[in-house]
Amino acid sequence: SIVWMNGAFIDRSEAKVDIEDRGYQFGDGIYEVIRVYNGQLFTANEHLERLLGSGDKLSIQIGYSVEEFKGLLEQLIEKNNLETGIVYMQVTRGVNSRNHAFPAEDTPPTYIAYTKEVARPTEQLDNGVTAITVEDIRWSRCDIKSLNLLGNVIAKQKATEADCYESIQYRDLTVTEGSSSNIWIIKDNAVKTHEANQFILNGITRQKIIELCQGNDIEVVEAAFTIEDLIDADEVFLSSTTAEVMPIISINNVPVGSGEIGPVARKLQQLFQDAIERECNQ
Ligand code: PMP
User: Which of 209-216's residues contact partners 24+ apart within 8 Å by CB, and which partners?
Assistant: 209/184, 209/239, 209/245, 209/268, 209/272, 212/268, 212/271, 212/272, 212/275, 213/268, 216/267, 216/271
From 111, 121, 119, select the one nearest 90 (Cα to Cα).
111
Q: Indicate which residue's Cα is closest to atom 3 of ligand 1.
A: 180
Atom of ligand 1 nearest to the CA of 204: 15
As a whole number of angstroms, the distance between CA 181 and CA 248 comes to 12
3 state DSSP class of 91? strand
| pLDDT for 231 | 97
- Give the N- to C-terminal CA distance of the chain in Å, as an integer: 25
From 98, 88, 105, 83, select the one nearest 37 (Cα to Cα).
83
Q: Any residues with CB less than 8 A from the CB of 94 and at least 6 apart, and which?
A: 21, 22, 103, 107, 108, 109, 110
Any ligand 1 atom below 6 A from CB of 230: no
145 is catalytic: yes
Q: How far is the CA of 104 from the centre of ligand 1 (A)?
A: 31
Positions in the chain short of pLDDT 50: none
Atom of ligand 1 nearest to the CA of 179: 3
Any ligand 1 atom below 6 A from CB of 169: no
Residue 178 identity: G
Q: How far is the CA of 178 from the centre of ligand 1 (A)?
A: 8
| pLDDT for 282 | 72
CA atoms within 13 A on the CB side of 190: 9
Helix residue ranges, H only, 99-239: 122-127, 150-161, 204-215, 227-231
Q: Indicate which residue's Cα is closest to atom 10 of ligand 1.
A: 181
A 10 A CB-CB count for 113 gives: 21
Any ligand 1 atom below 6 A from CB of 92: no
Any ligand 1 atom below 6 A from CB of 194: no
From 265, 239, 261, select the one nearest 250 (Cα to Cα).
261
Structural domains of the chain in order of their starting residue, each with its CATH number: 2-117 (3.30.470.10), 122-279 (3.20.10.10)
Contact 37, 280 (CB under 8 A): yes
Any ligand 1 atom below 6 A from CB of 181: yes
